[in-house]
Structure 1
Amino acid sequence: MRIFVLLIVLLGFNVLSAQPDWLYIEEDKDDYNGPEWTQKNKLSLDINEAVFVNWNEGGTNSISGLFDAKTMLNYSDNYYVWNNDAHLRYGVNMQEEREARKTDDLFELNSNLGFKPNENSDWFYMARLNFRTQLSNGYNYPNTDNPISKFMAPGYLFFGGGMEYGKNNKNLSLYFSPLTLKATFVFDDALANSGAFGVTPAVYDAQGNVITPGEQIRREVGVLLTNTYIRKLVKNIEVKNQLSLYSDYINNFGNIDIDWRLDFDFKVNSFVRANFGTHLRYDDDIKTVVPSDVEGEFDEAGAKVQWKQFLGVGIAFDF
């Protein structure tokens, strides 16, 4: 399964990297004219609604919303770049006679600092930091008594250094880090004791009492390869491919964690936009469970591919 998923990811990268004649081509070159700070902000809100009155085919009244906010503050000169951004996404769905349910939840920070030895080089010595978590509890609906995730449970931190190609072309970036720290945080006793998200679980005695609490931080050191590729398919349609491959040196080296996002942005006008995206993940440390022969108990079923798809139409503001 891991090989199959990796082949799909690489195939998607190759398709996007190709440049057939029908693609809309718009070059984006960086001509540095001294130190420059730039700031961009983007807010968007997508709302979907379905209402039924005496509809003989049946249906359930529902409304859902997705809020997305991103701010970027970047610095560049002839030798240095420093790119920073913060990203917040939160979605909720409400249906008649059912509790509100979370559909999306992300809080992410990125900071990348790079230096190139001369003005004509396309290679940067780069240090990267990425942190992400969620804001509210997650549940395996309809069970809302036992959260399966919380704020900082999990939280992820990547920090490392390496080489990056493509900073003179904002549409293409290829980054390789031979030394990247990955830390997984599970700051909740119940989730940590259960060994959620790959941390070491608690040790119990025969009566079920905790002898050794579960660890709340899992540390890894490994190699990281990322690729970002942005291309305008036609004038008002843009596609963005983001691929991340990570392998831990200490624990099962060669087992690759995959994080792959593919997003399409459709611009109707200056304020109305639509977006369609998919997000695929595979992390061998995140195990799934299945019911066992004993009622109320579960057996580990190993890691599985995680996949999410979303489609939204709404308003967006850039400033």
Structure 2
Amino acid sequence: MKHLFTYLIALTLVCHSHAQSLDSLANELVKDTTYWQSEFSAGLNFNQAAFSGNWKAGGVNSVAFGTLIAGKANYAKGKWSWDNQGELIYGIVKNEGQQFRKSNDRIFLDSKVGYKTGGNWSYFTSLNFLTQFSDGFEFGPADQSTLISGFLSPAFLTSAIGMEYKPNDEFALRIAPFSPRLTFVTDPNVSANVPNNYGVPIGQTVRTEWLALQLFATYDKDITDNLAIKTRYQMFANYETLAFRTIDHRLDVMLIAKITRFVDVTFTSINVYDLDMDPGIQYSQALALGILYKVSNKK
């Protein structure tokens, strides 16, 4: 309880400038909504494979299901801006003779307040959150499973204060020399199975890294009417343990190709280097055909 109280006080102090900026925008928001740009998309995909018992080429009967929900709500008027985005992704696969397994799992939320200084630069303060929906397992022989992650285990809450370079609506780069991060591992069963506990000290549920640098870059572009790319890169460097091998990197890539108005092919890729998770580079990728519904008020 003591740790929770300390965390709440610390988070309040770190986010003070973020809250002040939101208060400054409040009166404008209730007066006029024409300065908002919003976008929402939701997708479903299903894959299935079946083979007869005498199929000589080999194969495994399987079914897979995936969902994607993403949205943006951005406000801009004069020198002020307030950008919000969220991504919810989840997928499962079932191979014959095996348990259900996850094929994708991500919760990402980000909010940023900016104040334009001139040209393509702005001051900004932001807060973003990253975790997953359900338990993650490492599978061994005979389909034995070991719990290695879960909801809020780990989870990352990162605040930032710095400068943003945004030359157009497609690309943005945030440079935050002060970017405290909180890492959570709330499930003791995960702590028991992951020796380094995602950097959180054993016996605790939160690790606080106060002195840190964050780079956050996004590139979202409609290449053609039927092809779009969305990328997000995050770099996090703790000043207290600064070394080339201790800098965290994460790159998310999504390609969406529309076949018809509602049918699309989606490719997603996540690439992570974080020494507190694993000494090597982690990656995942998924390719799916499904239904995508998208609405936007962009002009």
1:309 to 285, 291, 298: 285
Amino acid at match of 1:257: D
Same amino acid, percent of matched pairs: 30
TM-score (norm 1): 0.75
C-alpha contact 1:34 1:77 (8 A) present in aligned 2:
no
Q: Deviations over 1:149-205 (max 9, x none)?
A: 111100111101111111x6210111100000111100012333543111123xxxx
Q: Deviations over 1:31-88 (max 9, x none)?
A: xx99512332210011111011242323221110110112322211121111112221
SS at match of 1:153: coil
Q: Distance in 2 between matches of 1:145 and 1:229?
A: 37
Max Rg structure: 1
Residue of structure 2 equivalent to 1:50: 49
Residue of structure 1 equivalent to 2:180: 181
Q: Distance in 1 between matches of 2:71 and 2:165?
A: 24
Q: Deviations over 1:207-239 (max 9, x none)?
A: xxxxxxx22111113111122223444442222
Unaligned 5+ residue runs, structure 2?
Answer: 1-31
Kindly report which structure 2 residues correspond to 1:1-319, keeping only aligned pairs within 5 A, or say none. Answer: 36-53=35-52, 54-117=54-117, 121-142=119-140, 146-166=146-166, 169-192=168-191, 194-201=195-202, 214-220=203-209, 221-254=211-244, 255-287=246-278, 303-319=279-295
Residue of structure 1 equivalent to 2:7: none
Q: Distance in 1 between matches of 2:230 and 2:61?
A: 34
C-alpha contact 1:35 1:76 (8 A) present in aligned 2:
no
Number of aligned residue pairs: give it: 257
C-alpha contact 1:39 1:73 (8 A) present in aligned 2:
yes
Residue of structure 2 equivalent to 1:20: none
Unaligned 5+ residue runs, structure 1?
Answer: 1-32, 202-213, 288-302
TM-score (norm 2): 0.79
SS at match of 2:97: coil
C-alpha contact 1:92 1:104 (8 A) present in aligned 2:
yes
C-alpha contact 1:35 1:77 (8 A) present in aligned 2:
no
Q: Distance in 1 between matches of 2:117 and 2:248?
A: 32
Select the structure that is richer in helix: 2
